[in-house]
Amino acid sequence: MNSRALAAEFIGSAILAATVIGSGIAAQNLSGGNIAIALLANAIATGCILYVLISVFAPLSGAHFNPAVSIAFALRGELSWLMCGSYAVAQIAGMIAGAWLAHAMFELPILQTSTTVRSSAGMALGETVAAFGLVLTIFGLKEKHAPQIPAAVALYITSAYWFTSSTSFANPAITIARSLSDTFAGIAPSSVPVFIVCQLAGMLAAVALAAWLWKNTGKP
């Protein structure tokens, strides 16, 4: 068991969640009720920190910060299932810690539960698309253009905040953490299971498509 890799996944996940939730709180406080401005600020902050975190932690753990990504690598035989499970635990724990850290920084109650219901069919489809695009981006670049992954993932998530109806959670761990935050970035616990199922479905579709598109060729 690689303790440094697990530490990297925990720390990176915590910082990512603190950024997503913290920037959402700040954006809501400063936007004067303009949801579009708040979402733009939230998206930019998330994209920026993703570039930093992936660049910093990729040499240690691959910088997954996302159980769906870890499962995708395990399905391709590039990560053991033991490490995949360990990564998922570290990612979820890190995300929850990051949510609590954001609450503490903005002097909000640490323990919360979101009341924001996100349960429409369109949002479910949006989460499927968000996870599909994220995983396809990673595997489309990893063979021959791996140094571009931090920027590509950051740009993809920033854009997916806007083009998906769900605002692109694309990550079971952050979905769980956001259910524990009754703030701008929150999601009601009742909406979490559908989001996670859709994220995993999108991931599976991307893994299958990537295996066919780049079979024995790598990225063109």
**Per-residue pLDDT tens digits for 135-155:** 999 999 998 899 999 999 999
The answer to the question of residue 219 being in a domain is no
Which residues, 6+ apart, have CB-to-CB distance to 3 below 8 Å?
A: none
Q: What does the pLDDT average to over 187-200?
A: 98
Cβ count near 146 (within 10 Å): 12
182, 112 Cβ separation under 8 angstroms: yes
From 96, 60, 89, 85, select the one nearest 174 (Cα to Cα): 96
The answer to the question of residue 218 being in a domain is no
**Separation CA 187–CA 118 (nearest Å):** 6
Q: What does the pLDDT average to over 30-40?
A: 96
The answer to the question of residue 116 being in a domain is yes
48: pLDDT confidence band, cut at 50, 70 and 90? very high
pLDDT of residue 217: 58
> The pTM is what?
0.95
pLDDT of residue 219: 41
pLDDT in tens, 92-128: 999 999 999 999 999 999 999 999 999 999 999 999 9
172, 68 Cβ separation under 8 angstroms: yes
Q: What is the mean pLDDT of the chain?
A: 96
100, 181 Cβ separation under 8 angstroms: no
Q: Which two tokens stand for residue 80?
A: 């053991």
pLDDT of 184 > 70? The answer is: yes
CATH number at 170 reads 1.20.1080.10
For the chain, the domain total comes to 1
pLDDT of residue 220: 41
pLDDT of residue 216: 67
**Separation CA 151–CA 118 (nearest Å):** 29
The answer to the question of residue 30 being in a domain is yes
The answer to the question of residue 136 being in a domain is yes
Q: What does the pLDDT average to over 49-63?
A: 98
Q: What does the pLDDT average to over 152-178?
A: 97
Where in the sequence is the domain holding 8, given as residue range(s)? 3-213
Q: What does the pLDDT average to over 167-185?
A: 97
Half-sphere exposure at residue 199, Cβ-oriented, CA atoms within 13 angstroms: 25
27, 108 Cβ separation under 8 angstroms: no
The answer to the question of residue 176 being in a domain is yes
Q: Which residue has the higher pLDDT, 73 or 143?
A: 73
75, 84 Cβ separation under 8 angstroms: no
The answer to the question of residue 114 being in a domain is yes
78, 220 Cβ separation under 8 angstroms: no
Q: What does the pLDDT average to over 18-27?
A: 98
Residues above pLDDT 90, as percent of the chain: 95
